[in-house]
Amino acid sequence: MLDPTSERDLFDQENMEEISQLASLEMSGDVVVKTNSSTFVLEKPSYPDSVYVTAANIFQGIRIQRSPDKVIINYGSEPLQPSSSRSEDESFQRLSYELAFSTLKYQDILESILIDSYIFSSTTIASELNSLIIVMLYDFQDRKFQPRVLSENEETIPEVQEVENLLNGFKTKLAAALARCRIKHDALSIYHILPETVRKQEQRASTLPLYAWINTSKISLEEVYNNLRRKGYSKVKSITSVNEKVYAVDQHCFNVLIFPAHLKTDLLNIDLIKDYKLIFQDKSRSLAVHSVKALINIDDDVLMVNTGSWYTVAHMSILTSGHTSKIFVCGIQPEEKDFDARKLFTRMGCQNIEILHETFLSIESKDHRLQNVKVILLLPRCSSLGVSNPVEFILNEHEDKSLLQDLSQGGLPKDKLETLAQQQFEQLTHAMKFTKVQAIVYCTCSVSKEENEDVVEKALEYQSSGVKMQPYRLSPPVLPLCSLKEIELSMDRFFRLEPSDMNNGCFLSILTRERDPSETVSVKDVLARAAAKGLLEGVEIGKTLKRDKKRKKSKALPPRAPHHGDPLRDHLAVDGNDTSNVQMKISELLHRESKISTSTKMSAPAKTVSQAGTSSQVRKPSKPLSTPLVRNFTRPVERPMNFVRARPEGKVIPLKPIEIVLPPVIFPLSPQGPRVQMPATHFYYRFIGSKVGVPRYLTSSTSRRKEKVKESTPSSHVRHPRPWL
């Protein structure tokens, strides 16, 4: 190794600062601003002393442990005493974890810089401060080795001041060591020394939009749009420009808005955020609760497992605020967390949440409190391998912070993935034991097959050896598929979002319980439900359907493929399926009736003419029939009809069509053309037997219980057996 004194002869301090700035420029992610005369970098705000101390303690707990023969720096065993004034503040914790995680990603490089600069051999410092040294070194080079600027009333900590003075004294040597490290790895910056997966993760995190859902219990969607418009925000279809104040509505969730990442600071200061009317949260959690919403009825309860963030529970509550549903959430054990959770739910306007202090695996499947739960939302702890910003996600969703050590290196080892997958499998199989539950929504933020498809498929296979309950099956997504790529990713009935510049990765699976064959519904009930839903609009299903069924030919229609969807549609597939099938059967029946009538009708030379070489066109009635079609068709007979006698209940009186010749009709062919006299036109009238003594044919011609059909060919008076078809 070269002597640092000779290195200092080659580079003066100014050159070393320039090298260090170039080496750390891409790593820091600062914004570069160019003017006509110069280029400068917008500096990040300086961290207070208390953040350094907290970050050093976090790093001490998640740092990469080395074997004794490979230890480079001894970090001691005693943590530093943090400042008690702000240690519990959410923003303070976030800053501390972000600083510790960034240091963890560059641990090897920073340790090499410290050793190469001879800082430990030149000074005597306690090993307990080594965590603080490496954390402050990361921030020091991130500031381009510029001094920290603090406010006058900022609290100072003696240990932080001691380390800061030490680093300032070795600034030149540290910058030289940083430059040599970059040259050794043949990298444009030390950022390029990181694993490729980590680099891609950082790139996505820098451009990932902000997702926020609207709390409709406190404000309407339109009010939010108007509020944002007054503050200068424009609504667009998609987020394409990152330099403007714009937002878009998410395609999967109607109450979720998307903002460019650079607007976060501005948005945090508006009243919509402060008043819990707009809540920032990862999109995957919104996809999960919207899937549950699509599966429940107005009075079904929901059980939420491993919800992580309380915002997820609140979102589920808001979506069901107009229902009589209850939202059960389990696993909130400490009393202080229970109090904080209830306080937050009250502020957000949630009123239907029930907190269970037991863990999910300890809750009995026949718990009397959960007898009306029809859907379980399972959000198991996962590796978060599909998340671009692990620190923010883990803090927001209260995930295991020990995962940060592996995520800083780009992934988890196989043994840890297997441990997580086993825990997820146990929770999913336990959810299948709840007898009243009809659906399970399983959602992770991982892209690992071991945590997603393998867990679900293994659980589905395992249930075959269970107790006497209808098994679960894999159901297609209930969310809209908004692109061809989403459709391709969902071909196997799993909903997936791959990590990208627009969203984190997400996996979602829906398991629904199969129908119990013993709970079959009668045809009468199915048709009644169909009529209530409007599926048989315009068609009356009564006794005539039973009569029609007996008149079917012996040749049966080809069987239809079974449908595994809604029970109503399952029955309709057998007994009619939908309105079009019913109409088709009626038309087929009437066609057979017409052939029978034609062969038995009385011959009349004046009225029976060969149909060869002629064509007839039927004019549709100007108004739809008010009388249902099924109850109107009759077979003409040749016996005189008694119009006075009332129709017996439950029977149809057969009527005989008659022919009436009306006077010629004159109408112009064109606005300017001559008026042409048309020959006499024949009309057919069909009558329905009256229940009173007045003949129905003496009533007004506009009666809504008759049809008028006109033959378009005057030269051939062909009587159709059923002129109303």
The distance from CA 247 to its chain's CA centroid, rounded to whole angstroms, is 19
How is residue 369 written in tokens? 């409190």
Q: For residue 64, what are the CA distances in angstroms to 60, 75, 306, 325, 416?
A: 9, 11, 28, 47, 15
Which is the catalytic residue, given 330, 445, 482, 506?
445
How is residue 530 written in tokens? 């169909």
The distance from CA 722 to its chain's CA centroid, rounded to whole angstroms, is 53
Q: For residues 404 and 109, give the distance between their C-alpha atoms in angstroms, rounded to a whole number.
A: 18
Specify the amino acid at residue 616: S
Task: Name the nearest CA neighbour of 96 among 341, 412, 501, 404.
Answer: 404
The distance from CA 552 to its chain's CA centroid, rounded to whole angstroms, is 48
Q: DSSP secondary-structure letter at 388?
A: S
Token match 């919104």: residue? 286
Task: Name the nearest CA neighbour of 330 among 308, 347, 345, 349.
Answer: 308
Q: Which residues contact 241 (CB under 8 A, 6 or more apart)?
A: 260
Q: For residues 687 and 703, give the distance between their C-alpha atoms in angstroms, rounded to a whole number.
A: 10
445 is catalytic: yes
User: Phi/psi of residue 534, each to 5°?
Assistant: 85, 10
Q: For residues 432 and 424, give the distance between their C-alpha atoms in angstroms, rounded to a whole number.
A: 13
Token match 């146990």: residue? 426
Token match 């923003």: residue? 91
Q: For residues 283 and 280, give the distance between their C-alpha atoms in angstroms, rounded to a whole number.
A: 9
Judged by DSSP in three states, 247 sits in strand
Strands in 428-516 per DSSP E: 439-444, 472-475, 495-497, 506-513
Contact 175, 146 (CB under 8 A): no
Using alpha carbons only, give the angle 372, 378, 384 rounded to the nearest 5 degrees: 165
Q: For residues 538 and 481, give the distance between their C-alpha atoms in angstroms, rounded to a whole number.
A: 33
Q: For residues 149 and 45, give the distance between their C-alpha atoms in angstroms, rounded to a whole number.
A: 8
First to last CA, the chain: 101
Judged by DSSP in three states, 150 sits in coil
Contact 653, 633 (CB under 8 A): no
Contact 540, 630 (CB under 8 A): yes
Burial of 128 (0-12, 13-18, 19+ CB in 10 A): middle
Contact 257, 212 (CB under 8 A): yes
Go through the chain and tell me how many residues it has.
725
How is residue 392 written in tokens? 């923010």
The distance from CA 252 to its chain's CA centroid, rounded to whole angstroms, is 5
How is residue 350 written in tokens? 């949630």
Task: Name the nearest CA neighbour of 338 among 375, 300, 346.
Answer: 346
How is residue 504 written in tokens? 């984190």
Residues annotated as part of the active site? 445
